[in-house]
Every structure is written in structure tokens, then in C-alpha cells.
Homo-oligomer: A and B are copies of this chain.
Amino acid sequence: MTKFDNDQIDDKSLDSENEQEGISRRDMLTRSAGLAGLAGIGAVGGLTLGSLRSASAATKNKAHVGPGDLDEYYGFWSSGQAGEVRILGVPSMRELMRIPVFNRCSASGWGQTNESRKILTEGLLPETKEFLADKGGVWLNGDAHHPHMSFTDGTYDGRYLFINDKANNRVARIRCDVMKVDKIIEIPNASDIHGLRPQKYPRTGYVFANSEHRIPMPNDGSILDDPKQYHAVFTAIDGDTMEVAWQVMVDGNLDNCDADYQGLYAFSTCYNSENGVTLAEMTANEQDWAVVFDIKAIEKAVKKGDFKEMSGVPVVDGRKGSPYTRYIPISNSPHGCNTAPDGKHVVINGKLSPTVSVIDVTKLPDLFKDKIKPRDAIVAEPEVGLGPLHTAFDGKGNCFTTLFLDSQVAKWNLDKAIRAYQGEDVNPILEKIDVHYQPGHNHTSMGETKDADGKWLVSLNKFSKDRFINVGPLKPENDQLIDITSDKMEIVHDGATYAEPHDCIIVRTDIVNPAKTWTRGDVMWADAEAQAKKDGVNLMGDSKVIRDGNKVRVYMWSIAPAFSMPKFTVKQGDEVTVYVTNMDSIEDLTHGFTLENHGIAVEIGPQQTTSVTFKAERPGVHWYYCQWFCHALHMEMRGRMLVEPA
């Protein structure tokens, strides 16, 4: 393990006011080495660079999408700490679009337009609004993990995408008609919103979100270094209203989650049954849990008042022993949680154990009635390899599990795994292939729905090392596309991606039907419409400057290659709001409004109205221009803001 044999690291004692809880390097090395010994941890460092490549000559290029040919699937990719959602084409693996979500976007003005600022702020908790007031009002640097589409009757319905922000406890919703975020809420009583999945049946319905880190409730400083008073919660959000419906307090740290195909149960992996706060404490027990939530029972509890209201939300006590949950013992620190398209099985991925554990949902009513023991709900537990993190499905009874430590994907058969668990002498492992390197999430085409079609598997690999030309100390991730249509898995594409596609889904194109342009009257700019009405302005055709004390509202429109207003004049100190309506109705004819020397740039799609507010503090002549190429005379599409000195 190269990384722990680093000559540069010498072993001085810690010298810190936090020393009593500090991890010394020696402890860390010992601890890590110990874990490595147990479960193969540390293999990241042990990888040989220049590992065997797939010989390109031998690769049939099944992922090839020729110039002008169209992809068969939409891929919706999260981006981890980049904070956005990405739309890829599958199988071409081309990145077709970025959707700003928890980041600021220089191109679109996400975080700067009044419309986006409303979405980014209105769902925040009051204390967060106050915290952000002197910081520009919107969060920076979110961490977008799990993008999932809304379901109807067990399959994608093309309405919405939902995604979590692990860093700042938010859940966002993306409208699939325009591929823009329309709602973001902050989850109260939570720290580190992590696993997220929509209800599959009868529809979404609920969006389930795990709070991973345990914190005091309330987290107001009255409880600090007293971890036994920390808690984590499971949250059900109403996907239609984007309000929190209820929460369930749990033991341990919730990790990933999924829902069943019957509308009865949700599932979360749950580690740190020790309720510890250090790495050593959190990994001490040999077993942790998969937690099962009884949705109907929780709804009844909320109805009958068996909850504590915290931050305006009903919080049901679902800790071990509660009637609303069951804790199924699973080996140390399970991670991924994946419901199979057969509607019956849920795969819990072992992480520190080489096994995956399969829950049979038909056994859960008996489990909640205490007719069987928690472990009796497990119907298979095949050993798949080192570091199993997530499992995807082909809809034909086969499962594909990423093995982080082995840098492999294991294909195994669910039925054989069940028979083996029952004692039959059958090997459920069908095949393993190397991926490059250290895979996290994976996903098959339509694989989290009842319509899993077994065509493509994507392995989201955390390290790329030598797979691409070197681009400096920061390397891309490597999203590999694997053809799973035959008996033999075949890697057909290495796709470099920027930090850090955490998860993805792959959706048939016929399910997603985005609009080609905006439609007038869209709710996204309802506030602008309302203000224009008050000001007697028709956004589709009027060019007006309205002065209202030191507030100035500038209304203009655009048709390539010109803004309707080639100049406007304001006074130094004015608060200026510029409304621009793009009157071009041609597909792809997006305009922009960039105001020089002010760091202002916003997107205005065909038929869209966008507004931005700023203070005119700099006297002089400031040009504004269209930054979205629109016409041969695009560069001439500009005007002047004249700011009279105070």
C-alpha cells in the first residue's frame, strides 16, 4: 500500500487544542492498515498504473453515434461537488447540456437573475436566509449526488428530476419540459441530505431523502460535543408541492435509499450503528442495518398525532424498536440500496463486506407483524467481491454490482443467488470485468424502473489515472459505457467527466419530451409579468424606463441582432432592474444580456423573459451586449447604459 509508506510522513505527536480527539498519523496508519487487512481497503494505493487496456482494435464500436445521428437514451448525470445536473446522450456519452442547480452559472446567470434567485431562496429555512443575507443571498458550492426522475406506475413519467445537495441539506426539482430547476427546498432537522429516491408506485408522490450525518435537534449550539444526543432523520417530501410531508428519526447514519414497487415500503442503508463520530467508532461494529420504513404506518402516525413537531415538520420516532421501522442487520457499513425491477427484491450492497444482501419485500408485512425476525427477510447474500457499492439490473434477472476495491463490475444472477442461499450448489457469479478505476454508482438503461431493458450499463469510476492524456494534478473521473446485451460484458467507451458524477439514470428518449422554445406566460417569470402589468408595460413589445424613486425598471426586448433599446440613462446609486424579453421564436435562438464592468450576464431563451437587478454604482458609459451567438451581426447587438455621476 504505497500511500501509507510515504517517506515524507514522519510521526510527530499532535499539538492541538483538539489533541484529545485528534487522530495521530500512527493511529490512522494502523487503523487503515487494519481495515485494509480485514476488507482489502487501501487498494486505491495498490493499483498498478498502466493496467491492461481494452485493445481498441478488438473493440466493436457499438457506442458509435455518427455525425447527425441521434442518441437512444437521455442520461441524467449528477455532478457531485460541481453542483449541476448534466444531460448526456447515451450511447454516444456526449454531454448535451448542463442544468445549473446548486452552483452559480456564469453563462445562464443562475444565481443572479431575479427568477433564479427566487427559486434558490424561497425554500430556505428562515435562519439560513438570515445567514445568507450578507453573503449575496444564495448558497455557493453545493454537492449534487442523486438525480432521479418522477415515476408513475413503476416507471419514469418524464415530469421531473429530483436531486439532493449533500453540503447544504437541499433537494431540488427540475422541470423536464424546459430542463430548468423550478423548486429548491432546504430540509430542516437534517445534516447532509444524501440518499434520494422517488416513490415508484402509484406515483411520485413522495421523494425520499436521507439525512446522513447525525446532529443535535435543534442544532442551535445548546448541544455541542455530546454525540449521544445527535440524531439523523429520514424525510418524505411531497414531490408535487415540494414541501416536507414528514420525517422519521432513526438510529445510525442513513446512507442510500430506494422505494418498492407496491407503494408500501422505503429502504435505507444505515451505517454507524455505534452512533460514533470518529472513523474508528463508526466502523467498530461487525453489523449495521438496512432500515425499512412502513409508509402507511408512518402516514397513520402523522394523522393521529404520534409525532413531535420540529421546525414546523412532524417528526415520527422511528428509532430501533419503533413500530414504524425495522432494522435488518447487515454486515458493517452497507452502502448502495437498489430495488430490482422484478418488484420483489432489494439489494443492499456491503461496502466493507464482500457480500450483497437481498431483501424480499413480500416478507416485510410479516416482519412488521414480528412473525419473522429481521434477518428472515434476507433471501440471498452472495459474495460478489471486494467493496460492493451499488447494483444495477438488466430486467432479465441479472444484477451488476460495482466493486470499488477490486475495480470491477460483477454480474450475478438473482435467482441463482437465492438458490445458493437456500443451500443449492450453484454459483450466482456469471462474470466479472475490470473497470478503470474504483467504481462508485452504476446504472443500467431504465434499470431503476419496471422497464429495465438490459442494453447499457454505465460504471461511474472515481479514478481515471492513466486512461486519458494527463491534464495535471486534477484528473477527470471516468464514466465507462458497457454493452450488456450479450453474455459477455464489453466496455465500449471511456468517458472523461469533470468532478464528480456521483450517480446517473438512463431514460428512453420517448419518455422525455422537452419543449423546443419557452412558451409565453410560463410561471418562471410570473413576477416580471406582474410588475410589468403594474407598470403598464407589455413585455412583448414595449421599451420603457420606469423611475420609481431610486428604483429604475428598464423594459426592453430583443430580436436578433438588436435590443429594442440601444441606450438608457440612470443615476449613480440607482437600483436598476433590467427586464429583457426575447421575441425571437426560432428554436435555438437564445439571446443574452451581459452588462460590462458589472459581472452581470444572463440567458434569455426564445420567448423567455429574464430580469436582473443591480446597483448602478459606476459612473460612465457601460455597454451591454448579447453573449449568446444569435446572428452574423451578433457582435453589434449591444447598447449603452449611461450612469450619471451622483
Contact = CB atoms under 8 A, between A and B. Distances in A.
Interface string A586-611: 11111010111111110101111000
B584 A3 contact: yes
A18 B64 contact: no
B585 A545 contact: no
Interface stretch (A260-268, A286-294, A317-325, A463-471): A463-471
Contact of A559 (B25, B79, B127, B491): B25
Given A3-B585, A559-B25, A495 B94 contact: yes
B141 A44 contact: no
A274 to B, nearest CB: 12
A430 interface: no
Contact of A97 (B2, B169, B498): B498
Interface in A383-426: 387, 404-405
B645 A473 contact: no
A8 B279 contact: no
Interface in A35-81: 35, 39, 41-45, 49, 53-57, 59, 61, 64-71, 74, 79-81
B216 A620 contact: yes
A97 to B, nearest CB: 4
Task: Report which residue of A56, A143, A635 has the largest number of chain B beta carbons within 10 angstroms of its beta carbon.
Answer: A635
Given A21-B566, A53-B67, A89-B496, 19 more contacts: A22-B564, A23-B564, A49-B587, A71-B469, A80-B627, A81-B107, A81-B627, A82-B106, A128-B597, A143-B627, A178-B472, A179-B471, A192-B596, A223-B620, A224-B643, A277-B640, A282-B636, A473-B605, A500-B629
A141 B594 contact: yes
A476 interface: yes
B468 A96 contact: yes
A279 B601 contact: no
A107 B94 contact: no
Interface string A507-520: 00100011111101
B67 A56 contact: yes
Interface string A91-127: 0001111100011111111011000000000000001
A213 B277 contact: no
A487 interface: no
A623 interface: yes
B620 A221 contact: yes
A135 interface: yes
A448 interface: no
Given A468-B71, A632-B405, A3 B560 contact: yes
A129 interface: no
B61 A56 contact: no
Interface in A151-191: 166-169, 177-180, 191
Given A278-B566, A560-B3, A53 B68 contact: yes
Given A17-B545, A192-B596, A496-B96, A633 B35 contact: yes
Contacts of A621: 191, 215-216, 219, 223-224, 230
Interface residues of A, number: 215
Nearest to A640: B277
Interface in A1-45: 2-4, 6, 8-10, 12, 14-19, 21-23, 25, 28-29, 32, 35, 39, 41-45
A472 B515 contact: yes
A516 B169 contact: no
Contacts of A65: 56
A290 B92 CA distance: 43
Contacts of A605: 473-474
25 contacts: A9-B559, A15-B543, A17-B568, A22-B566, A28-B559, A41-B561, A41-B633, A43-B632, A59-B67, A61-B64, A81-B601, A95-B95, A97-B474, A97-B475, A103-B104, A107-B499, A108-B474, A140-B601, A178-B473, A212-B635, A216-B621, A221-B620, A279-B566, A404-B632, A470-B514
A234 interface: no
Nearest to A282: B636
A55 B102 CA distance: 40
Given A8-B585, A463-B588, A632-B39, A67 B541 contact: no
A301 interface: no
Contact of A500 (B66, B107, B635): B107
A25 B59 contact: no
A251 interface: no
A459 to B, nearest CB: 11
Contacts of A352: 632
A220 interface: yes
Task: Report which residue of A128, A462, A509, A621 has the largest number of chain B beta carbons within 10 angstroms of its beta carbon.
Answer: A621
A205 interface: no
Nearest to A10: B541
A586 B2 contact: yes
A565 to B, nearest CB: 6
A97 B15 CA distance: 38
A252 to B, nearest CB: 13
A277 B69 CA distance: 43
Nearest to A213: B623
B496 A94 contact: yes
A8 B583 contact: yes
A644 interface: yes
A404 B225 CA distance: 64
Nearest to A522: B473
A631 B44 contact: yes
A141 B106 contact: yes
A360 interface: no
A474 B96 CA distance: 10
A258 to B, nearest CB: 18
Given A21-B566, A586-B44, A102 B106 contact: yes
